[in-house]
Chain A
Amino acid sequence: MQVRPVDPAAQVSIEPSALRDALTFLRDEGFDFLVFVTALDRPAEGVIELVYRLFSYAARVPVVVRVRVPRDGGRVPSVCDLYRTAEWHERETAELFGVEFSGHPDPRRLLLPDDLEGYPLRKDFTHPNLKPLPEVSAE
């Protein structure tokens, strides 16, 4: 999928093993603000794409780091010690997408109730409540 340049952030795609080095480098270069950590489910390609958005207050420049992991058993190292905000963002991404952040100090569920099974934000998540929108004919 082409990413149209409506967003000024530079997009960087890296391997999972390079994540910690990349983020350490960016943090030392002045990207001190981790805006969010989330993911995109791409079932057609069999991957989940993790997205880390960083911002440098000094240079007023954003950057987006993308990491692809397999849908089954996807793992990346946790960056909680580099950015304290990652602790909760990673917990949320883990429970909603089923990605493991190894080395996370507290990998419990954050938002979801304990009895909910599955990973809600995956495209193949099933739940009795989910149903498509009703079709409305144009008047």
Chain B
Amino acid sequence: MSEAPAPDLSTSDEFLLNVGPQHPATHGVLRVVVTMDGEVVKDLQPHIGYVHRGLEKLFENRLYEQIIPYTDRTDYLSAIANNWAYVSAVERLLGLEIPKKVEYIRVLMAELNRINSHLLWLAAYGLDMGAFTPFLYAFRDREEITVMVEEASGGRLTTNYFRIGGFTRDLPASFFPHLQKFLRRFGRAVDELDTLLVENAIFVARTRGVGVISRERAISYGMTGPCLRASDAPLDVRREMPYSIYPSLDFEIPAGRNGDTWDRSWVRIEEMRQSLRILRQAAEGFPEGEHRVRVPRNLEPPAGEVYSAVEGPRGEVGFWVVSEGGRKPYRVKMRKPSFSNFSALPEILRGLKIADLVAVMGSLDLVVPEIDR
């Protein structure tokens, strides 16, 4: 089957509805062609590639250090996680021992990034569902975190902060006072956003029981992150393939019970609370030490291949880096969570109504350049 089968208009109410690539609720340039029967979705054909920049080919023509800024721009909302996955892959190829302080800074930045990403998810999701107020509240909170990240890295969105071996500069003196102020205030902000959107009666009516996927099907589709955890699967890269200092930190992995859209939303709110816990612990236990390991100016990892994954806000972000010696990689494969999460959409949506399309797609928290690379 190369095209969606043409509907038989003589006997049914079937028609094809094109959603995208320019659409306010597609979170980027997604295109979905829906076969509708009246208001019910019979089938769904996703079309992607509208922002395919050919990054994997580009990486074969770049020095290892030059690839880092490109990793930000695949999933710009979790730029830190992308940086981390790539940089840790190269560090493992080089066999570097990373100082404790570097790991602590990485965890602080990654958890701040997770909160930032979930705030934007909440803002955009509310907007899709017709709620404008959470958008404004979430962006106000995002600004606070963005200022902290900008102080440390110089970038608001595409931070380009991590380097192979650590960081160019240590955290600035203003970072920790800002962080403490944020930690004191943000717990109440999460509760506020929770009441505004996720506990809102209309939201619950639109999302509870809608778009269910079972644990087995979710794993078969390669779903990771909150989308998987909502289906009663408390699986998180930080526990399954532990990295950095996460084994020594105390936090829970929230998991939903039903695998519906509401559970996917609830999991993200809970993750923000857990990220606050991690931030408090990392700030308290922050060590002295070096903020980098010296690496040679001409970086030439020995031949080998490695896959390194971290838990990004959307799921498992992994980089498979193949080196044959030399200053440029032989192959870089980016394993992105939204690619697999999105592939499950036809199965989730079959039989639901068209209004549920927006609710379900928003709950998957897709970032399209990550799907297309």
Contact = CB atoms under 8 A, between A and B. Distances in A.
Contact of B221 (A51, A84, A112, A121): A84
Q: Which one of A53, A111, A120 has the greatest number of beta carbons of chain B within 10 Å?
A: A111
Contact of B320 (A2, A34, A36, A84): A36
A6 B93 contact: yes
B39 interface: no
Given A112-B49, A121-B57, A40 B307 contact: no
Nearest to B2: A108
B172 interface: no
B204 to A, nearest CB: 29
Interface of B: 1-2, 48-49, 52, 54, 56-57, 61-63, 92-93, 95, 216-217, 219-222, 235, 240-241, 297, 302-307, 309, 316, 318, 320, 322, 324, 330-331, 333, 335, 339-340, 343-344, 347, 372-373
A9 B56 contact: no
A57 B305 contact: no
A84 B343 contact: yes
B344 A111 contact: no
B62 A133 contact: yes
Contacts of A55: 240-241
A133 B235 CA distance: 41
B221 A85 contact: yes
21 contacts: A3-B304, A4-B303, A6-B93, A6-B95, A32-B216, A33-B222, A35-B318, A40-B330, A62-B307, A84-B220, A85-B343, A88-B343, A106-B2, A109-B49, A110-B48, A110-B49, A111-B48, A111-B52, A120-B54, A121-B331, A133-B61
Interface of A: 1-4, 6-7, 9, 32-36, 38, 40-41, 51, 53, 55, 57, 60, 62, 83-85, 87-89, 96, 105-106, 108-113, 120-121, 125, 130, 132-133, 138
Given A7-B305, A110-B49, A88 B324 contact: no
A33 B219 contact: yes
A32 B61 contact: no
Nearest to A81: B220
A60 B238 CA distance: 12
Given A1-B324, A113-B49, A7 B306 contact: yes
A112 B229 CA distance: 32
Contacts of A96: 56
Contacts of B343: 84-85, 87-88
Q: Name the 3 nearest CB pairs between A and B, nearest first.
A: A85-B222, A4-B304, A111-B49
Given A1-B324, A55-B241, 20 more contacts: A4-B302, A6-B92, A6-B95, A6-B304, A6-B305, A7-B306, A35-B307, A36-B318, A36-B333, A53-B307, A57-B240, A84-B220, A84-B347, A111-B49, A112-B49, A113-B49, A120-B57, A121-B56, A125-B57, A133-B63
Nearest to A109: B49
A106 B1 contact: yes
Contact of B316 (A2, A35, A87, A111): A35
B20 to A, nearest CB: 15
A2 B305 CA distance: 9
Contacts of B302: 4
B61 A88 contact: no
Contact of A1 (B235, B303, B335, B339): B303
Contacts of B324: 1
Most buried by B among A2, A121, A132, A138: A121
A36 B95 contact: no
B305 A3 contact: yes
A92 to B, nearest CB: 8
Nearest to A136: B63
B52 A84 contact: no
Given A53-B320, A109-B49, A111-B48, A85 B303 contact: no
A4 B56 CA distance: 22
Given A36-B320, A85-B221, A85-B222, A2 B57 contact: no
B219 A60 contact: no
Residue among A2, A106, A110 with most chain B CB within 10 A: A110
A105 B92 CA distance: 38
Contacts of A87: 343
A62 B322 CA distance: 17
A82 B304 CA distance: 30
B217 A84 contact: yes
A134 to B, nearest CB: 11
Contact of A38 (B48, B303, B320, B330): B320
Contacts of B320: 36, 38, 51, 53
